[in-house]
């Protein structure tokens, strides 16, 4: 049987690529009339050491499905002169420079063998909608974050048209339809305070409306208010399909297998729900003063811990948090920042590591709490496995994710909502850390109960007859309708 091709163009970061692959696998499991080609750009940053810059790793993530093909695109000019002006503008221009390569890849790798039934673009890749117009195929937006943040982005153009200004951190609370509570200005993403960043996202959001559908990595029961606000949106937007949570597979590199075994063996020896896991993503790091304060807070809490510590980039290196040019590494000597005698006093209580297998740790019965940067993939994974989060956002949309989890949904313990690594005088003291760790780990509190209940709900959502499964079927029906019309 000849399959029609769906072509995906993800933003070149790990979280976006993994979500794209997981969505593709689920789509193909549900329908045998499609195959998928994923066009992978190089990392936008020369210093990146992530799997985006390692084609063999990328290929292995998709290898388990015969009808997913990965095509690595050639290099393009990196407009580094824009980077200090605006990260968002830089990434947008970098991706736009790939339009001719995307067009050529479709012509050379897809069209000779099958027809293209749709182009699925990521939130930063809206310039590729022009390629869909040229090919006369529909485009769809694949939104890897939640419906709340999608609603915020769709809110930006109209707000700017009315007020003619960006946000300021000192502004009063704002009513954003996709959030149940008024939103404090200090939990908005940093781009919302900057003319270029704001304008860049507003322009992307305008183009979202040109697509035939918006696919969101969430499920209705989690974000019912946000999803309903999108369905009732005063300005016309395309149909919204909630297909999450999309929980990606973890890939353990050969160099990390010994570390993986050590971590999992240690967890096997711990009582159920006794360990608090601290992990801040591949780009999350702190200076040594903050690391020392975390250590003091953990020791004072008396709780067992697994702490993934990333070494901050050297002073003077240009850092763009959240877009994976941060050259975080691993410490060879933890005693450099730890309080004197910490390792000896806590040798039977916890372990420190650099890299950690996040999905497997969250799935382990010993894990009872998760101190997290609140990236959307991490939130989804914690909810899937029923592990409550302590919020410590760092960059991108993580502050407003933390706000939503604590204030709108009651699914997380608040440590900070407005912490950010790209400015501001932020420092979290040991007493705050101790209090938050105790709060998430002690007993079966209201947050833990809600998270465990939501874990059951999200698993039902992707099961037969669940809300996400049903939404997936509606999306497939729309895609097939065009395919059937073409065949006629």
Beta strands at 367-372 and 275-279: parallel, antiparallel or unpaired: parallel
Burial 358-393 (b: 16+ CB within 10 A, else e): bbbbbbbebbbbbbbbbbbbbbbbbbbbbbbbbbbb
Catalytic residues: 16, 122
- The token duo for 50 is 């992530």
DSSP per residue, 45-70: STT--SGGG-HHHHHHHHTT-TTEEE
Residue with tokens 């809600």: 450
> For 14, how many CA atoms within 13 A lie in the half-sphere containing its CB?
21
Q: What radius of gyration, in Å, describes the C-alpha atoms of the chain?
A: 22
CA-CA distance, 362 to 254, in Å (whole number)? 21
CA angle 108/111/115 to nearest 5° reads 160
Residue 290's CB is within 10 A of a number of other CB atoms, namely: 17
CA-CA distance, 42 to 74, in Å (whole number)? 7
Picking from 149, 291, 165, the residue whose alpha carbon sits closest to that of residue 222 is 149
């Amino acid at each position: 049987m000849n399959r029609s091709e769906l072509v995906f163009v993800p933003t070149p970061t790990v979280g976006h690529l993994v979500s794209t692959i997981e969505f593709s696998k689920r789509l193909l499991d549900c329908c045998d009339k499609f195959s998928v080609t994923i066009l992978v750009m190089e990392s936008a940053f020369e210093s990146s050491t992530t799997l985006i810059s390692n084609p063999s790793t990328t290929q292995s993530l998709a290898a388990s499905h015969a009808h997913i093909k990965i095509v690595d695109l050639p290099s393009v000019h990196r407009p580094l002169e824009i980077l200090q002006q605006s990260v968002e503008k830089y990434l947008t221009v970098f991706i736009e420079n790939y339009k001719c390569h995307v067009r050529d890849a479709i012509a050379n790798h897809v069209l000779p063998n099958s027809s293209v039934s749709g182009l699925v673009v990521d939130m930063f890749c809206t310039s590729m909608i022009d390629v869909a117009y040229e090919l006369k195929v529909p485009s769809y937006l694949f939104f890897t974050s939640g419906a709340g943040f999608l609603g915020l982005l769709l809110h930006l153009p109209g707000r700017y048209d009315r007020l003619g200004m960006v946000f300021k951190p000192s502004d009063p609370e704002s009513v954003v339809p996709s959030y149940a509570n008024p939103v404090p200005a200090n939990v908005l993403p940093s781009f919302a305070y900057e003319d270029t960043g704001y304008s860049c996202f507003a322009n992307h959001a305008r183009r979202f409306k040109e697509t035939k559908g918006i696919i969101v990595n969430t499920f209705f029961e989690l974000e019912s208010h946000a999803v309903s606000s999108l369905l009732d949106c005063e300005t016309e937007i395309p149909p919204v399909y909630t297909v999450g949570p999309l929980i990606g597979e973890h890939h353990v590199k050969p160099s990390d297998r010994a570390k993986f075994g050590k971590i999992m063996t240690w967890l096997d020896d711990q009582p159920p729900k006794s360990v608090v896991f601290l992990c801040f993503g591949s780009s999350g790091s702190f200076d040594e003063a903050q690391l020392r304060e975390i250590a003091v807070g953990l020791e004072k809490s008396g709780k067992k811990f697994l702490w993934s510590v990333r070494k901050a980039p050297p002073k003077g290196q240009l850092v763009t948090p959240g877009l994976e040019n941060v050259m975080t590494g691993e410490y060879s000597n933890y005693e450099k920042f730890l309080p004197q005698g910490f390792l000896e006093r806590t040798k039977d209580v916890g372990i420190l590591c650099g890299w950690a297998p996040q999905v497997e740790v969250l799935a382990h019965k010993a894990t009872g709490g998760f101190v997290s940067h609140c990236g959307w993939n991490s939130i989804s994974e914690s909810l899937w496995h029923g592990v409550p989060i302590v919020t410590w956002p760092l960059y991108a949309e993580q502050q407003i994710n933390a706000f939503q989890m604590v204030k709108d949904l009651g699914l997380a313990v608040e440590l900070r909502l407005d912490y950010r690594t790209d400015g501001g005088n932020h420092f979290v003291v040991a007493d705050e850390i101790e209090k938050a760790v105790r709060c998430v780990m002690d007993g079966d509190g209201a947050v833990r109960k809600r998270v465990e209940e939501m874990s059951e709900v999200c698993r039902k959502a992707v099961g037969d007859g669940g809300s996400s499964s049903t939404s997936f079927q509606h999306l497939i029906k729309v895609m097939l309708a065009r395919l059937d019309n073409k065949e006629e």
